[in-house]
Structure 1
Amino acid sequence: MFYKNPYYNPEKSHHTPYGFQNPEPLHIPLTRVAKWLKERWMSKTSRLPKGGYEQFIQDWMVEADFSHSGDYVNWLGHCSLYFNLDHTGLLTDPVFSNRASFLSWIGPKRQTPTPIDIKEIPTLQYVLISHEHYDHLDYATIVQLNQHFPNLTFIVPLGLERWFHKKGITQVIALDWWDQYVINDQLIITATPAQHWSNRHPFARNRNLWCGYMITHQDKNHYFAGDTAYAENLLEIGDRFDIDYGYMPIGCYAPEWFMGYQHISPSDSVRLHNELGIKQSIGVHWGVFELGDERFDDTPIQIQNAITQYDTPPIFEVVPINTTMKLS
Structure 2
Amino acid sequence: MSQPPPSRKPRNPYYTGPVSDHFDGTVFFNPEGEAPLGFRELMRWQFGGGRSAWPTQVPSPFPPAKPDDRVDGNGLRVTMVGHASLLIQVAGLNILTDPVWSPRTSPFSFAGPKRVVEPGIAFDDLPPIDIVLVTHNHYDHLDLATLKRLHAEHAPHIVTPLGNDTIIHRAIADAKISDMDWGEQISFWDGVTIDCEPCHHWSARGARDRRMALWAAFVISTPAGKIYHIGDTGFHDGINYRAAAEKHGPFRLANLPIGAYEPRWFMKAQHQNPEEAVQGMQLCNASYAAGHHFGTVQLTNEGIEEPVRALEVALKDQGVAPERFRALRAGEVFDVPTV
AA matched with 1:310: Q
Which one is further off, 104-113 or 311-320?
A: 311-320
CA distance in structure 1 between the partners assigned to 2:81 and 2:267 by the alignment: 24
| Distance (whole Å) between structure 2 residues aligned to residue 295 and residue 311 of structure 1 | 25
C-alpha distance 74-31 of structure 1, shift in aligned 2 (>3 A): same
Gaps of 5+ in 2: 1-7
Does residue 111 of structure 1 match 2:116?
yes
Report the CA distance shift for 1:166/1:239 in structure 2 as closer, same or farther (over 3 A): same
Write the mapping of 1:245-260 to structure 2, written as runs, cut at 5 A.
245-260=253-268
Corresponding residue of 1:206:
211
Over residues 49-75 of structure 1, what are the superposed CA-to-partner deviations in whole Å (9 max), with x where a residue is unaligned? xxx465x5244x432130375442212
Instruction: Determine if contact 1:87/1:123 at 8 Å carries over to the other structure.
Output: no
- Relative to structure 1, the CA distance from residue 161 to residue 144 in structure 2 (aligned partners, 3 Å threshold; closer, same or farther) is same
1:275 aligned to which of 274, 279, 283: 283
Match runs of 1:115-154 below 5 Å: 115-150=120-155, 152-154=156-158
* Secondary structure in structure 1 of the residue aligned to 2:275: helix
What is the CA distance between 1:38 and its match in structure 2? Answer: 0.7
Give me the whole-angstrom Cα distance separating, in 2, the residues matched to 1:160 and 1:102.
Answer: 16
Mapped partners of 1:298, 1:198: distance in 2: 26
Deviation for aligned residue 1:243: 1.2
Partner of 2:247: 240
**C-alpha distance in 1, partners of 2:243/2:328?**
28
Higher mean C-alpha deviation, range 274-283 or range 90-99: 274-283
- Counterpart code for 2:194: I
Whether 1:192 aligns to 2:201 is no
Counterparts of 1:174 and 1:127 in 2: how far apart (Å)?
A: 12
Pick aligned residue for 2:22 from 14, 30, 40: 14
Change (3 A) 1:37 1:296: same
After alignment, is 122-131 or 83-92 more displaced?
83-92
- The root-mean-square deviation of aligned C-alpha atoms, in Å, is 1.9
2:328 to 319, 322, 325: 319
Cα deviation for residue 141 of structure 1 reads: 0.3
Percent identical pairs in the alignment equals 26
Q: Is the 8 A contact 1:65 1:324 kept in 2?
A: no
* Structure 2 residue matching 1:244: 3-state secondary structure: strand
Q: Which residue is equivalent to 2:4? A: none
Under a length normalisation based on structure 2, what TM-score does the superposition of the two structures give? 0.88
Instruction: List runs of 5+ in structure 1 lacking aligned partners.
Output: none
1:164 and 2:168 correspond: yes
Asked if 1 retains the 8 angstrom alpha-carbon contact of 2:308 and 2:327, the reply is yes
Supply the distance in 2 between the matched residues of 1:75 and 1:283 (Cα, whole angstroms): 10
**1: distance between equivalents of 2:335 and 2:86?**
13
CA-CA distance at 1:126 after TM superposition = 1.0
Q: State the match for 2:269 in structure 1.
A: 261
Bigger shift: residues 205-214 or 61-70 = 61-70
Aligned to 1:305: 313
Aligned to 2:67: 66
Contact 2:162 2:214 in 1 (8 A): yes
Q: CA deviation at 1:316?
A: 1.4
Give the whole-Å Cα distance in 1 for the aligned partners of 2:103 and 2:144: 12
Q: Is the 8 A contact 2:259 2:274 kept in 1?
A: yes
Quickly say closer, same or farther: Cα 1:20–1:84, change in 2 above 3 A: same
Distance 2:282 2:123 in 1: 35
Question: In the alignment, is the contact (CA less than 8 A) between 2:131 and 2:159 conserved in 1?
Answer: yes
Describe the SS at the equivalent of 1:303.
helix
User: How far apart are the structure 1 equivalents of 2:106 and 2:174?
Assistant: 20
Report the CA distance between 1:169 and its aligned residue. Answer: 3.4
Instruction: Give the counterpart letter for 2:298 in structure 1.
Output: E
Indicate if the aligned counterparts of 1:96 and 1:115 stay in contact, CA closer than 8 A: no
The one-character-per-residue Cα deviations of 1:151-194 (angstroms, maximum 9, x if unpaired) are: x2110101111112222134110011121110124211111111
Task: State the distance in 2 between where 1:299 and 1:248 align.
Answer: 12
Q: What letter matches 1:30 in structure 2? A: F
Query: Deviation at 1:21?
Result: 0.2
Q: Which amino acid aligns with 2:314?
A: A
**TM-score between the two structures when normalised by the length of structure 1:** 0.91
CA distance in 2, matches of 1:158, 1:274: 29
List 4+ stretches of structure 1 deviating above 6 A: none
Judge which range, 305-314 or 18-27, deviates more: 305-314
> Cα offset for 1:274?
1.4
- Code of the residue aligned with 2:294 in structure 1: it is W
Q: Do the aligned partners of residues 58 and 312 (structure 1) sit closer, same or farther apart at CA in structure 2, a change above 3 Å counting? A: closer
C-alpha distance in 2 between matches for 1:224 and 1:303: 18
How far does residue 195 in structure 1 lie from its aligned partner after superposition? 0.6
